[in-house]
Structure 1
């Protein structure tokens, strides 16, 4: 199979392949940057929420104990 004649290669195949590869790299780089930006935004929003709400502190008691026996 390899010893036989090779099929003709279309003209301009290498430049088209290079353009396509560059486009794919740009798209992947853009997607990666967008994902990191989104992750950073979510982290910042979480930190602001945690700083305002302070979920680790117990809420104040709604009911006071009776004042009997004073």
Structure 2
């Protein structure tokens, strides 16, 4: 997205990114609730790292998308 886009396009771009991150976290949560044998603790700990990585990635993604789509961010 190297040129200025409408608010709707920007919003859908950001929403699409958020949705795949949410799906990945939800998938791990489902697996954690169904697995047994002591692996659930390890999966919960992995979930914390995944949440942090997605938060950091999302903030970076939105920031870069906003700067690259604004009229002054050429």
TM-score, normalised via structure 1 length: 0.44
Structure whose residues are more often helix by fraction: 2
* Greater C-alpha Rg: 1
